[in-house]
Structure 1
Amino acid sequence: MNDQDSQFDSLLPPLKLDRRGFIATSVAAGFSLAAGQAVAQTAIATDAAGLLAGKVDIPVADGKMPAYRAAPQGKKNLPTLLVVSEIFGVHEYIQDICRRLAHLGYLAVAPELFARQGDPSRYTNIPKLQAEIISKVPDAQVQRDLDAASAWAAEHGGDAGRLGILGFCWGGRQVWLYAAHNPKLRAGAAWYGQLGGEPSELKPRPVLSAVGDLKAPVLGAYGGKDAGIPLADVDRMRVALAQGPAAAKASRIDIYPEAPHAFHADYRPSYRKAEAEQAWQRMLDWFKQNGL
């Protein structure tokens, strides 16, 4: 931690645990500090006119998980999309994505999947955020929480038979894993999610080893200039998908040759407008093709 981080953290109120051990008691207000607020003014801003949008609590086995929900006001039996965040949690960018999807007729739910480990919005330092929160989140916990979010959505205006998922960076990896976990899922969209990596106790298998269990087709969007995800892994993933079960064979990975990592993140310097818009439209078409 540097001196600036220490001084900033000292100004924050102490974290409060609820009686069942949750740390994050709500979703973030504004943009994540660690993501770099300096460019946040360039972000796309989507209003909530005509929407039911805001913070909700989702019951889980050990308490209540905060989430952000957006849906067309007064509508029921909506196709549902789970929105899985980057490492920065459910901050303004993720909330805005939910509103964009709601204006298109979806019930969009973004659960705060780091709620037990900490509050990502408090951090100004990415390595510290990774070490103190992200590295401590078990994949199994994420899958259970996404199951809880989908169950909550089905009871709050969503159509349980039309469930999809999308996620960015850390969340993109979780999309692949959830498509191998939930047989009720219609389709997924993984934005530059990690494919390889070494197994660990909390992350027992990389995405590449989960292909054989895919139960729903996934559309992958990857940058050709992503310094964190080797194109060799993308190539290996394509081969594995072609040799996998029906859902794997129905999956597709699109590469955007000039795009870096996080090319959809419109509040960061990595944003690439043309590629982001093309990939977004392809995702919407993908969901429609798969009954969402």
Structure 2
Amino acid sequence: MTRVRRRKKGLRDRDTWAALGFLSPWLVGFVIFMAGPMILSLVLSFTNYDGLRETKGVGWQNYQQLLSDPKVAKSLVNTMLFTAMTVPGKMIVALALATLLSRVGRRSAGIFRTLFYLPEVTPKVAVGVLFLLLFNGQVGLVNGFLGLFGIDGPQWSTDPNWVKPGLALMSLWSVGGTVVIYLAALNNVPQDLYEAAELDGVSWWQRFRHITVPMISPALFFTLIILTIDALQSFDEAYAAFYGSSASATYSSDAALFYLVYLFQQAFQFLHMGYASALAWLLFVVIMIITAIQIRVSRKFVYYEGGDR
């Protein structure tokens, strides 16, 4: 028995080392590119580091400055409003497209799925430049299309009240990844549930509300968290459109001052690396709080096959 136990233990140890060997590239990458920089930024957030002068500890000074800096509050509000407009819009559009794709043939669905996903690989900086072309208040294609119906389109790129809605509309360009997730979830919904509902005379909307949505709620919850985190870290499109070398000379409003844009300015334009590190950790805390609230609320609305919520 002792020999058998030793042999089993040896096999377990061998499997453990094999698993660690396969995981080692990810573990090394995580330590070097994620955990290490995070710890370093936490240390720097308590200093006056700027890459030029001697680094000195400043205690909680950077975090105290966050509370009195009006740009921090402005950028946070801008980011929250943008997130509130972007996340529901992406989820609704992606779910509508996925529902349409689920009703076409497999071959056609594959073609359209690829077409919808292609914008995901488009550089976000290019999307920011495309925003200025499509949403130009004078010659943009969006206002040109609205003009066909007698609608005088707003000044998307210059009116502070329309900058964030315009960026939110532009963000719908990249819903392909979410469409793929929803399409997979829809294809896994048992068809016998729909058949039973049809026999009972249930309408399309009731089937969608009481069968489709509950059955794909885990996918909805997953994308809600991922899209929220992504929106809270928005940077490329807004910076390329409004704070690039050419745009910054003509655009002076803070309507597009997202949180990461302000963090970037502090870190790489003003070289306030210590303060920028404190800004990064504030965003980390905000994301953690919002995610925790979403997880807490989801327990009442997310349905799993086992019947637990």
TM-score (norm 2): 0.25
Structure with the greater alpha carbon radius of gyration? 2
Larger strand percent:
1
Structure with bigger RCO (C-alpha 8 Å, 6+ apart): 2
TM-score (norm 1): 0.26
Larger helix percent:
2
